[in-house]
Structure 1
Amino acid sequence: MLDDFLAFTLRNQPPVAPSGTTPGGMRWRWLGQGMLEIIPPRAIDTHIVLSAGVHGDETAPIEILRDLVADIAAGRLPLACRLLVLLGNAPAMSAGKRYLDDDLNRLFCGAHRNLPGSAESPRAAALEAAVAAFFANAVGARWHLDLHTAIRPSVFERFALLPQREAGYGPEVFAWLGALDISAVLNHRERSNTFTYFSSSEHNALAATLELGKVMPFGQNDLTRFAAVDAGLRRMLTSEAPAQSATQPRIFDVVGQLNKQSDAFVLAVGDTMANFTAYPRGTVIAIDRDERYVVSHDEERIVFPNPKVKNGLRAGLMVVERPV
């Protein structure tokens, strides 16, 4: 199972034994489809959740986690933290789809209870329960990195989204994001129903959603393009310090959200632009019946533009770079 956790997850069969110990003394426990806990033999005060595949078609991060698990199991990666690996929307992964009924990354913080008939609702509840149990008695540092790839190209190939957090984020977080090859960071100012907001708000984890590149089908990813990301994750899992050569990411604050309220919603600037495309003050970005979003800062950049989302969901974010 551990030598190819992805293939085992896609088969969707229970293991012969639900727990065991690796030759290197790591204790592992299968918690359900795509959910695996690994604990070193000695006491640890760092607790890390790594998730991927919350969108089932974002395959490169899933393959990265597969390889990390295999190396831990084989003793090639000396784990120095408690680790929870979650392959998020496993049913959608098996179907080769982004999701089956609803975007899983909008169903956390209990939002799944509003859609009891959705194929994604039981999965959101199961992932919440796994994270809650993992952090229940965790003393020390808590992290959750949720790994994604983007549908469209980006001015900044790798970027991160930090969920709204009353305590803010210290320099350690930005140092690690730089070490993970992240060149831009978005600071959210509002609550949401994403997986990382759930871990941050409900379990006080330092959480980040990482957008690491372009969506590709399984087996078509050039994982050498993710070498810096992989190296950063390995340093984190072995309790090494972030690489000193890491570049400090540029920081952006979310200043507006494009909400699709009706079928009349359109992006006035088109819908083929890259993430982080910049627009000057006065530009009309989106129109929805009588409502318009107009750039009110000297420059705003658009992130995640998607006019095809369901009504009532976010169709894009507008961000402004924070002065150095």
Structure 2
Amino acid sequence: MALLLEFLTTLKNTVVDVLPILSIILVFQLLVIRKPIPHIKQVGFGFIYVLIGLALFLLGLEKALFPLGKMMAKQLTAPEFIHAGEQILTNVHWSDYTWVYIFAAAIGFSTTIAEPSLIAVAIKAEEVSGGAINANNLRISVAIGVAIGIALGSYRIVVGHPIHYYIISGYVVVVIQTFFCPKLVAPLAYDSGGVTTSTVTVPLVAALGLGLASTIPGRSPLIDGFGLIAFASLFPIIAVMAYAQLTQAKARQAERYGEKRKRIKINKRSLQPKKQESSKNPIQDKKNR
């Protein structure tokens, strides 16, 4: 019964949040464009499905993903006890949290692969580019970038470095890459960094950062816990542009290799002695020999 009441409350809040979007669409459709909405029944049922789905998803985040991420962070970062004196180790080296980095990278990769917004962007990019951009390769590149970013962000929380050192350095790399990256991929890379921080990734990443900062001695959940999502937005941009640059370099290398082989074949043909053409008169051929 309590769960049903929570769902109804979440559904009510979802309707309030989505109502401005629906109002703007209706105003522009009916008053500006001045055309009726086609298939009004299907649109209406679809809108109801969206509201119910969003409410269930938000309730699931609150009941499952947020507690799960926090629980995993606390379990992985629980202080070790010395068996002799049973004292808590306060001076912990960054290498003692290896499993935290592995978990952060794994959860970043898996949540990004399952991110609905990234799937939609990847499919559209493949359609618009005519197959020049592969949707699966794009998703894997973004997921690798998120994995590296969250692992590095977890390392930052452990060692306590200021976040702006990492973010400024990362965007300097992005600016440099933008000048050398293919023009087809650069805008897509910037969008890929944004769509990763969405419905699936954010709850677990935020819970991981807060749980990590609240467990490590000397860290503040407010100052050190937040900011992990910024790493999940930055490093996919670097990863996608790096993948495009590597692909472009390989294509140029293959093209140069093909041209080199053609030149070698032409040189071999030019060095071969030409055979004398035989005339139609066999007596004349014998005299020439």
Q: TM-score range by the shorter chain?
A: under 0.3
Q: TM-score, normalized by length of structure 1?
A: 0.20
Ranked by relative contact order (alpha carbons within 8 Å, sequence separation 6 or more), the top structure is 2
Larger Rg: 2
* Structure with greater proportional strand content: 1
Higher helix share: 2
